[in-house]
Structure 1
């Protein structure tokens, strides 16, 4: 299940600057995981940014769809990568939030009632609104994600180029060569269901394009927004790619003890950990936890 590297070829080397404000603090118990803490910070940021206001027919369903979509590890991974390259998590909150918004829009599109497929697991979303509202409002979430991200442009931090790069990363990850392509392979798989190597290949490509690409985007965006070097960005992109595939495989085969899948996950875990070599040892514990979901 080896995947290709997804590279952004423009070379930008922003200097690392200290945050102009204190990092967002979230009260948590010591037993909470890093991802839980990061997700809590992202939710606070989104709830501050997305208020239910007039016109209510727009903002009420938008608020519902954004917070009803299931969480992925990609936004938290964005924050972890930013901290790993030496910056405070508050610098990555907007990017992490935008990734969740894009995921919420994509998930809503994929799980509208009119697109239900018998072979698919039940949607983890309550259909409070009709498919017409789900379609229109989820379309509106996409530009809102970009708006939220651009609002984090800060002359003091001199982060405009980084934000532009993150916008490109996110739109590519969710576009026709990313999540959308993965959804296409899943539809093919459902329609053909022909078994054999061709079906396995479509399944692998779907995982790489959806979960792999999504989490690669999260890690790369965190490194970019935190001012990481090109080498750090690419290492974390590859790390995130393996994280996404591990999470998907473990969710699909939860409870099974098939030695083949155990071996595949262990190989991907080792590949991911290999990418963390070279980073400061005392800083990698949080992000290393993502390969042990």
Structure 2
């Protein structure tokens, strides 16, 4: 019996080596497919689909002035990173674009609301957004506030009414997730702490991270997570994508801080250097420019590590989006 077992060992080792070779070849094939991914074409195609869906969702009707203000900021351009992340996450876990599109649009409506309100004189007092005069500069502060409010309300109405091919339970789960991400435990929390921190001399890294995990990362996280929920993702998949989104959300803000001190207003399409003028804590201010760049690369690496285990071809858009966020120029 011992002799038989010993005789089997070479066969077993051969099979093991063959198995390892197959796995390695599969990994190399996936890497090659990932590298061949056309990110620019993907972003252009998905961005056009999102723009068309937004145009169809928020139409001109009475009262015309408020709808003009809503559309002015919503359709003013932008990279559409958040809605595209939502769609990519949905497709990664087995869903399709049509399942995610209403929620992707809702995320962009909420993001636009946050920009309109953030630009107000009582907040950041900005005159320029996406290369155009800010909403309150065109329509007045009162209409700008109401345009943001209307976009926020309509976002959830649109998610609830326009989502197709998804169980009601998952739609409710997605709406609940998004509401939490932008409320007093999410985006609003970050904005409040950011306002209260202006001018403070003792703002440390932990404090700054709290602000940006909530103010910036929360909505990016929400976009990815609701996409995974709507696409039918398992609990494990949703949580891995949540961690991915948390990293790229913070990465987005670190890069934003870097660009604020290295780019011009014309290059950014918004006012450059405003954080320095307002004496706000930023990553370059606390870490120095080079250390801030190193931290950005660390977050980029950690984000992509969360995608291990997913199909490389389906995950390619998320890998590429992480790279884009890390190395964007505006």
Other-structure match for 2:297: 266
1:235 is the counterpart of 2:240: yes
1:174 is the counterpart of 2:182: yes
Contact 2:107 2:155 in 1 (8 A): yes
Other-structure match for 1:27: none
1:282 aligned residue (283, 288, 313): 313
Cα drift, residue 50 of structure 1: 1.4
Other-structure match for 2:271: none
Whose helix fraction is larger, Structure 1's or Structure 2's?
Answer: 2
Alignment of 1:85-100 (within 5 A): 85-100=93-108
Cα drift, residue 112 of structure 1: 1.5
Unaligned residue ranges in structure 1 (runs of 5+): 1-29
Choose 1 or 2 for highest CA Rg: 2
Other-structure match for 1:51: 59
Contact 2:69 2:147 in 1 (8 A): yes
Q: Within 1, Cα distance between the matches of 2:108 and 2:296?
A: 25
Contact 2:166 2:230 in 1 (8 A): no
Other-structure match for 1:82: 90
Alignment of 1:57-68 (within 5 A): 57-68=65-76
Other-structure match for 2:280: none
Cα drift, residue 110 of structure 1: 1.8
Contact 1:69 1:108 in 2 (8 A): no
SS in 2 for 1:245: helix
Unaligned residue ranges in structure 2 (runs of 5+): 1-37, 263-283, 325-330
1:195 is the counterpart of 2:165: no
1:129 aligned residue (139, 142, 146): 139
Are the structure 2 counterparts of residues 141 and 55 from structure 1 closer, same or farther at C-alpha, using a change threshold of 3 Å?
same
Other-structure match for 1:211: 216
Cα drift, residue 39 of structure 1: 2.3
Q: Within 1, Cα distance between the matches of 2:295 and 2:59?
A: 43
User: TM-score of the superposition, structure 1-length normalised?
Assistant: 0.80
Contact 2:225 2:241 in 1 (8 A): yes
RMSD: 2.3
Query: Could you report, residue by residue, the CA deviation over 1:139-177 in whole angstroms, capped at 9, with x for unpaired residues?
Result: 1211211111112244xx352111111111111111011
Cα drift, residue 68 of structure 1: 3.5
Contact 1:78 1:222 in 2 (8 A): yes
Contact 1:78 1:218 in 2 (8 A): yes
Contact 2:54 2:75 in 1 (8 A): no
Contact 1:189 1:203 in 2 (8 A): no
Are the structure 2 counterparts of residues 272 and 116 from structure 1 closer, same or farther at C-alpha, using a change threshold of 3 Å?
closer
Q: Within 2, Cα distance between the matches of 1:112 and 1:131?
A: 7
SS in 2 for 1:32: helix
Contact 1:173 1:213 in 2 (8 A): yes
Q: Within 1, Cα distance between the matches of 2:222 and 2:39?
A: 28
Cα drift, residue 88 of structure 1: 1.6
Count of aligned pairs? 257
1:152 aligned residue (137, 148, 162): 162
For CA contacts below 8 A with separation 6 or more, give which structure has more relative contact order. Answer: 1
Q: Within 2, Cα distance between the matches of 1:233 and 1:290?
A: 18
Cα drift, residue 235 of structure 1: 0.6
Contact 1:239 1:271 in 2 (8 A): yes
